[in-house]
Structures are given as C-alpha cells and as structure tokens.
Homo-oligomer: A and B are copies of this chain.
C-alpha cells in the first residue's frame, strides 16, 4: 500500500473504504435534521477527494529559490538531533557531516532518502469504511489536538478530564465531515501523565471507529500505542499496514529533541505514519517573512522526514506545517491573519514537489470565546487550508484560545463549516438535471421556482444545510430568545452527547485491550512527573 505513486496516479488510487461518499450523502438532510434535534449519529461522509487544482502562490522560480535556500540551510547551518546517539549514528552512516548534535547534510542527501517515502498511503480504521487516504487529492479532517483546558457546556473554562476526552472522541465519531478521530483531543489531566496515553488510545478505539493518532510523549508510550493497535487490528495487519498517524513536532528552529525522535523511531520502525511538523510562530521560531519561514520549514521537514526513511525506508511520512505569527507587541500567537495562510499555500506547493502528503491549518483562533473573532480567524485558516490542497487537517474542529482550550461549542460550529468545505470540493453537477433547462423553461420570466418540478425533485439535497445558522426572520429569532450561534451550538452538543451510541466492538478485543491497559498501569509508579 505504501508505494511511490505520482499525483496524477493518485487520482485513481482508492483507499480501503475510500468511496467518495458514504451511502447516500445527498440523502443526509433527514439525518442532519435528526441530529439537529438530538438524533443519533448522522450519515458519515467519506474523506474529501478534491477535483480542482489547489491555489498556488509561488511560481517555478520562487519555488526553486526556496528549495536552494533550504539546501543551504541544511548544508551550512545544519539541524540538531539532540541527545539521540542512535539518530546521529544513522545520519553519519548515511553520509551526513555530524558535529556534536548538529547534522550537516550534503546537497541532495535528504531528497535522495525521501525517494522511498510514499506520496500517498492508506491509514486504516477498524471500520474499513472509515479508512482514509493520506496524500494525493484526498483531504482528511481531524479534530483539535493538545489543549490542557476545555470550555465546557456550562461556559466554565477548566482543566480537561478523561470524560471530556471521551466526549470529543464521541462528537468526532458522530460528525459527518470529521474523517478522523484525531489524537490528544484534549489533555486529560485527571489521569496521571505516565498512564493517560493508555486511556486516550483506548477511548479512540472504543468510542469511535474512525482512524486515530498515537502517543508521542515518550518512546514507551508509542510502543504501547502500537501494542494496543495490534490487539485491535491483529499483529500481522499492523505489520503490513498503517493504522496510526503520529505528530512529530520539530523544536523549531532547527532542532529535533530526543522525545520526538524516540517516538518517531518507534512508529517508523513499525511502518506507522509520522507527520513531521515544524511548529512555527513566525517572528519567534522562524523569520518574520513568508519566504524565510518557508525556507526553514522545508529544511526542517527534509531532515526530519528523511530521518524516518533512515529508520525504515518506505515508512509513511507527512510534510507537516503549523504556521502562525506572533503579535510583535505582546509576543502572543495570532491566527487567521494573511501571513500564515501564505505560508500554508507555499508549504503545500513544496510538499507536492517533494512528493509527500501535506498537513497544515485547521480552524485556528486566538479568541477566548467562540465569538466573531473566533469565527473569522477559523474560517480564514480553514478556507486557505482547503484551497492549499492540504491532505491532513489537524485542529479542524474545537480549537480555541490559541490551542489552550478545546471548546464544545466551537467544535459544533466548526464541524458545520467542515461540511460546507466538503460540499465546496465536490464536482459541479453539469448533468441534464444540473443544467436545469427544463426548470428555466417551465418557470419563465417574472415567475418563481419555489414549486416547479425541478425544485420539487431536488430541494432536499440542493443546498448545504447548516446545523448552526439561524436563517429565520428577525421576529421569529426574537421570539425564540435571541440566541447567538454560541447558544445554538451549546444545545446541539448536549443533544449529540445525549444520543451518542458507541460503535460495536468485539468483546474479546475489548477485554484484551482493557487487560493490557490494566497490566501496563500496574507496572507503573503511581505518581509520575
């Protein structure tokens, strides 16, 4: 499955469960209505298969310039692989110039190594219908990752718990345009830090059947992830297929630390996917200019992604970017502004030239509450993410306060937006029905289309129906209590959580997973820094 194929060929590649739509997406209006009023999980959409070219901001000359500059950074400045003798030995063996922790790369070395990396691969879900293609013309939406806090349904901002974690897994499972269960949907701080990865991975396995992400906070936690995946998928299946995708952040500028390298080694060795992601707040971790940031991002990804190929040639690896800027007044991160969008567009182009799947963006905001700031910033980020042709979109729903907070209300708003983006990516219907000439003939000048045959035949599926928007008259909106989008999202989240039904899971597997977790927890100290 992990083979080098060209982007053009990818157009034909069909991952497991990769039918463009689940059964009857267009018939999902009733299901959505049910969901809106508190019904069960609605019709799931398959991952997006884009049919239109991505928006690009760099021409050949600009791309070549940035690539040459990145090569210069790799050769002259180098990248640090800190406190990992094995990594340094691998680089030395590959022909790099290693001085202390600093690795200098002869021109072309990283690109040469990356020739074994697949440009497209399938991440399998336990429900084959939920498996996703990573790369090519696919776009996969995954929820928020990392926040230690939640903003809960009573409007309280507090530390996240394992209960919150499960809730976000459940909501992601139910959301039609979330194709992936994600990873650390919030940080369950009520579980000891050395044990919580077990509960997190289990929650993804038990409360969802969508693909998910593994633990990266220590090599042994990555090992636990792989072991649990083997229980869920079968050992042989995991040996031969990618079943987890994992976030390997660079410690920008130009450093990979031992924690991330340790996790990366475990996953690459097991043929599982790494998303090598420079975590960039321009102005702090990279230059303040777009071209300078792109240069550094490319250099870091080249080094980190090539490293996975040193560990195991052919291991799936994704070109990641987390692009943001900082306020030059306060130093605080900013989101939804033009410069990070430009970085995303440019980085997507660099990834395509490199033949790697691309990750960036999401629904990012610095706002403390799901207000207009939150929505403008998230929409700007999401629109540019999708237009860039991004393959894997982390933080696609629920992100608030610069990633410090997972918000239930924001999650419900964002998944509505994801549904819209998915519809936007569909091919235009130019069939006879799409052309609607009969309707135009039937109605004619000065009449209206409300009752015509064509409208009757198409109205249920013609338009995307928002689950959040209030389009009623002012008077009706007033009579219903002048609710904001936030208030409506709150009610919708409550309804969904109330009506959640877990996907079936083989009891023997469930017991084996719980048994594994219990044994591992017992082997660990009670408290752990």
Contacts and interface: CB of A to CB of B under 8 A. Distances in A.
A436 B292 contact: yes
Interface stretch (A6-14, A119-127, A190-198, A332-340): A332-340
* Leading 6 A-B pairs by shortest Cβ distance: A292-B436, A375-B375, A379-B379, A287-B436, A288-B462, A254-B445
Q: Interface centre among A56, A283, A372, by most B CB within 10 Å?
A: A372
B486 A371 contact: yes
Interface stretch (A76-84, A137-145, A179-187, A258-266): A76-84
A458 interface: yes
Contacts of A423: 337-339
Interface string A266-279: 00000000000000
30 contacts: A52-B55, A62-B428, A62-B430, A77-B445, A80-B446, A253-B440, A287-B454, A288-B454, A288-B458, A289-B458, A291-B428, A296-B440, A326-B463, A327-B465, A330-B472, A331-B450, A332-B473, A336-B469, A337-B464, A337-B466, A366-B471, A368-B470, A369-B482, A371-B484, A371-B486, A373-B375, A373-B469, A376-B376, A380-B420, A387-B387
A145 to B, nearest CB: 19
Given A334-B463, A338-B421, A372-B489, 11 more contacts: A65-B430, A78-B445, A283-B462, A287-B449, A291-B435, A327-B471, A337-B423, A369-B484, A371-B486, A372-B375, A374-B485
A166 to B, nearest CB: 25
B253 A444 contact: yes
Copies of this chain: 2
Contacts of A449: 253, 283-288
Contacts of A254: 444-446
A485 B373 contact: yes
A514 interface: no
A292 B459 contact: no
Contacts of A373: 375, 468-470, 484-485
Interface in A401-420: 401-402, 404, 413, 416-417, 420
A521 B455 CA distance: 48
B372 A447 contact: no
Interface string A473-496: 110011000101110010000000
Given A283-B463, A469-B377, A445 B253 contact: yes
Nearest to A383: B383
Contact of A380 (B383, B470, B473): B383
A296 B346 CA distance: 37
Interface in A230-260: 251, 253-255
A439 interface: yes
A282 interface: yes
A437 interface: yes
Contacts of A76: 441
Given A291-B428, A332-B471, A470-B373, A253 B437 contact: no
A116 interface: no
A360 interface: no
A58 interface: yes
A72 interface: yes
A317 interface: no
A94 interface: no
B292 A440 contact: yes
